[in-house]
Each structure stands twice: as C-alpha cells, then as structure tokens.
A and B are shown apart, each in its own frame.
Chain A
C-alpha cells in the first residue's frame, strides 16, 4: 500500500472526526435546551406552554423525517449563507448540525421524561424555581440517559457524514466512494469500512463507560 494512500486515509479519518465532533457539539448546544423544553412544556408541567410545545414538536418531527441526503441538498442556500460556501468539509457541518439538533432534542426529551416525577414534586416543595428544578434535578438525574443518547447521536452522525461527499464534503465516506467504488480500489473500501467500525466501537465503548460513571442508581454501577 502506498504512503500516499495511508496519508489519504489518515486525512479522511481526521476530517470525519472533525465534522462529527463539531456537529455533535453544536447539535448538543441546540438540542439540549430544545429537548428540555419539549420535556417540560406540556400542559400542566413545569414550563407549561402547550401551544409552543406542539409547534416545536412538529418542527422537530418534520426535520427528522427528511432523509439526510435530501436535507443536505435542500439547504444548500442556507449552508452557503452560514458557511460562506456550500462545498467542503466545513460546509458539511451545517447539514450535519441541522440533523443533529432535533435528533439530540428528542433523546434529551426522553431521558428527562424518565426522571421520577416525585423528584420534581420534592424540589417544588423546597421552593425551587422551574429553572432550578431543571438545572439541579432534571439534568443531573437524566445525565446517564443523556450520555447514552449523545453516544447514539455520534454513531448516527458518523453514518450521515459518509453522505456529505455529495456536496463536496470530504472524510471517510467520500474517500470510500471516490476511490473504493468509482476507481474500483476494493482495498480502500475495506479500510474505510474497517476504520468506521473501529470508530463506532470506540465511541460506543467510551459513551457507555461515561454513562456508567455518572449513573449512581445501582450500587454495582458506582464509579471506583
């Protein structure tokens, strides 16, 4: 195998990690508050705002139901507006983030809904404000679930990132298609797949390890 090929693989791996890392970060920044709001804003809940909740729910569902490859193409004008260009690895972060936000929002919403309502009641009885309940009770108690949710999001984004070659985004997926498929170099395809498998495995293992560390619910799960 040529040194050139190894270089290409390393660069593509780095590009994938870069795209996924940044879009997960931005997706979490956007998805966390939206998820918290979705979980707390139904009728009679902490931040009761049923109308806004419904509208936001519809928007989130709509975004999630658009196939990623179509999303990438559909928002090209928006991508150009934000990134200054619509092609390249950095530009690819825009659609990845837009896919990540609603995905992470739903995962966070689910994790927060799992929190025992008795804890909210206890916090209210202490005179906590809704914001205090969110910060001191809901998020810390939902942290194991949120961590596993983010792990799932990273794994999904690794998959999505393979499609951004369509708009000139680079990375492992793009390399696999251009070399492994179009130039028929099966060894490149094989290596790309292998690296992706390792990355997913790594993310999953680390994510589960962190989730276990923050989960104090069962004695056996207690971090050393």
Chain B
C-alpha cells in the first residue's frame, strides 16, 4: 500500500465540501470546508446531531459520495477522482460496517463473510482459509452455517465486522454500527473494534451520536455541526477542555456530573446580595487527577468546601475527574487561584443565596 508521504495520514480531508441538489432548484450544503487528518492506526470518532453531515463525510472515504469541492485522500490516493477499477481497488482497502448490518439474508454467516472475497476474485481455497480465520476472530465458529435471521443483533454486527475485514483493508468505516444494539452488546462490539485496531493496526473512522462510544474507544474525535467541524482533537483534550457549546452539550450527557435539582433550581447567574456561595466545576486532569487536592485546599486556605456532585473517569489509561463544588462567594476567587495554580481547570456555574 502506498502511504501519503506528505502528511503520513491514513485519511485526509482537504477543504472538502458537498452540495446536494435540492428539489426545485438550489442546493443543500451537507458539508462545508471540512479539513481533517486521520493518522494511521488511530480510532477517530465523528460525533454530531442528526443531519449534521456525518454519514456524508464517512461515505466520501470509500467514494460512495463524491466531494463537490476539495479533496479526500485515502492512503495517498485521491478518492474523489477515482472511477471504475481504480475506485473498486480503493474500496477493497476500506471496509465498512453499518447500523442495520446490511447482511444478505440469502447467505449464511460463512457465505456473507466470503462475499467481498468472491467479488475481488480470490481463489476459493484462499477464501475458505480466510473466512475460517475471520469467523473465529469474531467468535462465531459455532454459527458459521446459520442465516442472519437466526442471529442476535450483536452476532449480526460481528458478521458485519468479519465481512468488512475480509479483503484485509487498512481502513474501517463504521456508520453508527452500535446504534441498533443494547448497551451491553454495544460494549462487546466496541471491544471487538478496539482489538482489531490493536492487533491489525487498522485505522478506524467511526460515526456515533454517543460520547460514551467516543470515550470508550476513540483516541481522537471531531465534532461536526451543520456540515462544519466545530471542534476536533484528542479525546482526552476534548473531554477535559471542551470549547464549543455543542461539544459541551454532548459531554453533559456522558460525564454524568450534573447539579442536584435543588441547587440547579436556585442557581443565579449574578451574585445575589447578602451572603452567598459560588458554584463551580473543577476538572481534574493529568497526574493530579487523583490527588487529594480538595482536602489540601480546605486545610491550607481554611475554606469550607461543599461537594455537590462528582465523578472520576478514564479515557484510555488516563483518569480525569469532574467535580461540582460550592464555596463561600467572598473567598471563591482565592479558591480558584489555588486550584489553577495546581493545574486544574475551573468554571464558574453561578451562585446560590
């Protein structure tokens, strides 16, 4: 496989735009000036609301959709410019899995996994060997002669994964592959993807609308809204220091740290007259994430800290914590200075009387 020598990226989008013709004239900008570079061997999550343009972006990687401006490169090859045999060649290097699995009902597990190999004209002895390996890798040896209708959703998606890997691609695309599955099955499929990424060095680009999926397996994430990437970076950075409101709102669902109702109800944006307490969010990052910083602050500053909510999470091997506290408003600035001095991020949420 050729690799792009200029950037080394497995997939790169350079100022990509996509306009769909609209009924009755005009056009819809599904994607607008997207630039994103996906490094080889990483798992990158693309998150966004319905209609944001996630599927359109993903489908450009294997040429199911062509950009109307800009350039999409996979392993150094210009996908938008490829046609016919050249395009089919690229597609063999890019596997894809789907929300609704898209398995052939008329074929058994074994035959479904064999399909891409039949299409690429692989000799039948080679097909048998490879399909046996793949079926074993996804743990479906006992189901090889079953039809999709006889499988559970999780098993179907495993067949989808095995099928996507059949032509030994370098890139795997996943369009909401776990959205039709229950949380437990979702975990097992995500683990399978993570294993594949680690064992085969596969670059994975996955679409989701759940930050939990990103947290669990993606090393990088891009947030997309109205056809534009509003924020992207390493998952850890995005989780610990989200900038865009959309990112924050996606995160609020997953970090699980929200104010208790009785506080949220009385929260005011400006400091009320009389004695009051300031409510703030502290994000513990890096090596200090597990330090007993609050206890230290209490004793050193002689401050009373009320803990309202909190959680410590892991992204990959790195922990980060989210804590909501309140302190006496008069001394809040002192507290914030102390925390920031210790490399923690703080954010004022409001005041309670």
Contacts and interface: CB of A to CB of B under 8 A. Distances in A.
A127 B167 CA distance: 10
A6 interface: no
B98 A122 contact: yes
Contacts, number: 71
Query: Which of B88, B119, B173 has the largest number of chain A CB atoms within 10 A?
Result: B119
Given A124-B64, A127-B120, A217 B96 contact: no
Interface stretch (A49-57, A134-142, A168-176): A134-142
Nearest to B107: A140
A124 B88 CA distance: 8
A125 B64 contact: yes
A67 interface: no
Interface string A120-163: 01111111110010001100110100000000000000000000
Interface in B186-218: none
Nearest to B108: A216
A128 B149 CA distance: 24
Contacts of A123: 115, 119
A125 B104 contact: no
Contacts of A218: 149
A116 B102 contact: yes
B119 A125 contact: no
A219 B118 contact: no
A119 to B, nearest CB: 6
A216 B145 CA distance: 12
Given A126-B92, A141-B104, A216 B64 contact: no
Contact of A222 (B92, B115, B147): B147
B10 interface: no
A129 B118 CA distance: 12
B150 interface: yes
Nearest to A143: B106
Contacts of A124: 64, 91
B171 to A, nearest CB: 11
Nearest to B150: A219
B106 A127 contact: no
Contacts of A69: none
A141 B90 CA distance: 26
A127 B94 CA distance: 9
A121 B164 CA distance: 13
Contacts of B148: 216
Contacts of B89: 127
A119 B173 CA distance: 16
Nearest to A217: B105
A25 interface: no
Contacts of B115: 123, 126, 136
B130 interface: no
B157 interface: no
A216 B149 contact: yes
Nearest to B167: A126
B144 interface: no
Contacts of B64: 121, 124-125
Nearest to B105: A217
A116 B148 CA distance: 14
A137 B104 contact: yes
Given A119-B104, A126-B91, A217 B119 contact: no
Interface of A: 116, 118-119, 121-129, 132, 136-137, 140-141, 143, 214, 216-219, 222
20 contacts: A118-B100, A118-B102, A119-B104, A121-B98, A125-B62, A126-B92, A126-B116, A126-B120, A127-B89, A127-B119, A128-B119, A132-B119, A136-B115, A137-B104, A140-B106, A140-B107, A141-B106, A216-B106, A216-B107, A219-B147
Query: 5 nearest interchain CB pairs?
Result: A127-B88, A127-B91, A122-B102, A126-B116, A118-B102
